[in-house]
Structure 1
Amino acid sequence: MFSCLLRGRGTVAIQACRSRLRQEDSPPRIVEHPSDLIVSKGEPATLNCKAEGRPAPTVEWYKDGERVETDRDNPRSHRMLLPSGSLFFLRIVHGRRSKPDDGSYVCVARNYLGEAVSHNASLEVA
């Protein structure tokens, strides 16, 4: 941005510079989709997701249409959002009455230009 500002002076030069920077921005796109998993109760697991875009998109996960709570929302959560955008389970939780990890997952990448949704991936507990 500084080289752009140095070429001209005044408001017109700044507006032209901002316009060019925005043209280089791009909407998110999913470059690595999650795959179906079958995991034993109590074992760790990872649902992969990688997104590209400019500015770098934020990633959120949804299970059966509901937003997944991760360690960023609750430090005691057994689910972690990795810097890559993948969803890591410290251990798969599965009980007689509660099956909080079993279901269909998608990752959603967003920036100011839009959003991209991954393919569905199922996580089944063996």
Structure 2
Amino acid sequence: MLSSVRRGKITMLELLFILMLLFSGPTLSKLSRTKGKHWKGGSRLRQEDFPPRIVEHPSDVIVSKGEPTTLNCKAEGRPTPTIEWYKDGERVETDKDDPRSHRMLLPSGSLFFLRIVHGRRSKPDEGSYVCVARNYLGEAVSRNASLEVACE
């Protein structure tokens, strides 16, 4: 092949080989989209991934015993971050951990209390809460929000 290139001539077979190399990769017109992020053929055509950031922080709340309430938290990131809640530094158990729990993690990332539990000796819902958003690029922590139970 080198000898024919040096002479300035390319055989039909060599030309065919070069064209096959140039056009053998996947082309966008021949590919079909799958699940919005990947193209068949192995090429990735998607926006850049980025670490989580909190776009809605929880706010302090005062609520009566036995009443429902919600602590809001919303995060952005790519891939979509997972949300976990912590009360006074300890991870909060939700219905995903225990189906009998009175706390639910909503799809938005907010923490919903079916009813506020508060007793004379035990105050399991009262405290300082933060939400933590995580993906493989990092984590973001919300501001603290206090949940207080109103005196009866």
TM-score by length of 2: 0.71
Which residues of 2 match residues 1-126 of structure 1 at below 5 A?
6-7=27-28, 14=42, 17-18=43-44, 21=46, 24-126=48-150
Q: Which runs of 5+ in 1 are unaligned?
A: 8-12
Q: Distance in 1 between matches of 2:57 and 2:77?
A: 15
Q: Which runs of 5+ in 2 are unaligned?
A: 1-25, 29-40
How much has 1:124 moved relative to structure 2? Answer: 0.2
Q: What's 1:10 paired with?
A: none
Percent of aligned pairs with the same amino acid: 85
How many residues end up aligned between the 2 structures? 114
Q: Which has the higher contact order (CA 8 A, sep 6+)?
A: 1
TM-score by length of 1: 0.85
SS at match of 2:123: coil
How much has 1:125 moved relative to structure 2? Answer: 0.3
Structure 1 residue runs of 4 or more that deviate by more than 3 Å after TM superposition? none
Q: Distance in 1 between matches of 2:63 and 2:84?
A: 22
User: Which amino acid is 1:74 matched to?
Assistant: D
1:8-36 alpha-carbon deviations (Å, 9 max, x no partner):
xxxxx95xx44x64x61110000000000
Higher alpha-carbon Rg:
2
